[in-house]
Chain A
Amino acid sequence: MELISPTDYAKDLVLAIQEWTYLAARSIGNVFRQPRYVADTLQQADLIGVGSLPIVVLTGFFTGGVLALNAARTLEQYGSLSLTGQLVSISMVRELGPTLAGLMVAGRNASGMASELGSMKVTEQIDAMRALGTDPSKKLVTPRVVATIIMLFFLTIICDFFGLTGGFAVSALGLHLDAHQYWSNAYQSLEFGDVIIGLVKPLLFGFLVATIGCYYGLTSRGGTQGVGRATTQAVVAASIMILGVNYFASQLLLYLLK
């Protein structure tokens, strides 16, 4: 295996960040410029949103369930089993809903974008598109970014809801908690700030997932092997960025909403 010098590695990293930043900025700037590819955006919204619905629902449901299960063991020791709904709702809405939905969409769609655009890149379809007078960042990147941001927002809400439902299923069937008590506790414990935090994060995650997926696709080279590498790198980078940004976004939002 060929070793790469630390200087070259650092240069490549800085260049990659610069290129990604440029692509990400253009993808947002394109929203305010003609032409706008509405049909492509709707098609992507269908692929990303409707396509990701089953995994987001299942992930949310089982995570909510296991949260309730684990929380109950601790809460029972303090005689506070009735607070299960509160713990599930705050955890799901503030942290787990956005993060899990983001990771699911990253696994499913960042890889899809990287492989689709990567295949187009290595078969010269991207160059053909440019040669035909179309800006690939407008035609391919912006629709994916816009669709991912919007759909991840709604997928997160759905993930939160099914997380609460999963928690409720475990509380009602396993812990024999009163349904009204669970739901009112879950609802009343949520503050305005929790909801805002939970709804701002998916906007950031959607942006990251789509721009990272598109970036790796558009910069892939080296034939089918290169496309495979780009796909893997896109999922890894998007997942790490979601987890990292989640921490800093939580810090910032908690400070701002204090």
Chain B
Amino acid sequence: MPAPVAPAESPAPISGAQPQTVIVFQDVSISFEGNPVLEGISFQLERGETKALLGVAGSGKSTILKLTMGLVKPDRGQIWVLGQEVSAMKEEDLFELRRKIGMVFQESALFDSLKVRDNVAYRLIEEGVPDDKVQKRVEEALRFVELEHTLNMLPSELSGGMRRRVAIARAIVDQPEIVLYDSPTGGLDPVTSTTIIELLVKQRDVYHNSSLLVSHRLQDAFTMATHYFDRNQNRMVPVDGAHIDTRTSFLVLRDSKVIFDGSAHELASTRDEYIREYIS
């Protein structure tokens, strides 16, 4: 399969511009049916940064993404996204903000009665973008995930990995400022998982979106932290000695609380017993 052509841009250099905060969680707590899921969560995501959310199943990683989108409301605390306090906004007011955020759901959540083209084009059609522009942008997004040939297929005709890639195309079709990935490699084989992670690295380094990545697979997060997308080779390559900052950090959850928030290097050198066992 020919490699897709990426725009002529490179990853952010180490000495970049002053970062801006796009997501702020401040002392956020939420419980479902009396069971605390998140307690006193606080963290920030800077513009252009990717933060990998790690933790065992049920630790509240996906809930953080839903809270960011305003799909669920916290019991306590404040959440700001792109300068707006989503925790205090009404549902009707959130729709406008959500159009600036892309989200890839755990099980893709494609509209099963719509073709791939209409799934990817959904947001553009809702915004009243003219048909010719919709077609162009849908083709671009599908080319990005290397699935141009699936335009007229239904989601049920695609494999799990392909569905996940279509979900990524749908999330990035209008280049949102923030992209939220909920276990994009969950349930996929290692080869397909690597393909998905390469797409995420490409998305990060080509378009410089800010993103939150929920993952059960530690190696996915480390791959994102230690690789960048080389547009000359048209593939993901290790950073090694190159002076490139992948701007990828880690946040580890345990028992509803944040127990680590820092860089890959800090994570690897931590003395916390639980984290050492988790990453080993």
A interface residues, Cβ below 8 angstroms from B: 35, 120, 123-125, 127-135
Contact = CB atoms under 8 A, between A and B. Distances in A.
Interface in B62-101: 66, 69, 71, 91-92, 94-96, 98-99, 101
A132 B110 CA distance: 11
B96 A128 contact: no
B93 to A, nearest CB: 11
A134 B103 contact: no
B260 interface: no
Contacts of B44: none
Interface residues of B, number: 24
Contact of B105 (A120, A127, A135): A127
B126 A134 contact: yes
A111 B111 CA distance: 20
B123 interface: yes
B95 A123 contact: no
Contacts of B263: none
Contact of B126 (A124, A127, A132): A132
B95 A124 contact: no
Contacts of B69: 130-131
A172 to B, nearest CB: 47
A127 B66 contact: yes
A125 B111 contact: yes
Nearest to A132: B123
B222 interface: no
25 contacts: A35-B126, A123-B107, A123-B109, A124-B107, A124-B109, A125-B109, A125-B110, A127-B66, A127-B109, A128-B109, A128-B110, A130-B69, A130-B71, A130-B94, A131-B69, A131-B103, A131-B105, A132-B123, A132-B170, A133-B96, A133-B98, A133-B126, A134-B126, A135-B92, A135-B95
Given A124-B109, A135-B95, 12 more contacts: A120-B111, A124-B105, A124-B107, A125-B110, A127-B66, A128-B103, A128-B110, A131-B101, A133-B95, A133-B99, A133-B123, A135-B91
A124 B98 contact: no
B205 to A, nearest CB: 24
Given A123-B112, A127-B71, A132 B122 contact: yes
A131 B96 contact: no
B105 A128 contact: yes
A217 to B, nearest CB: 14
Given A133-B99, A133-B123, A128 B66 contact: no
A17 B52 CA distance: 41
A134 B99 CA distance: 9
B106 interface: yes
B25 to A, nearest CB: 18
Contacts of B111: 120, 125, 128-129
Contacts of B101: 131
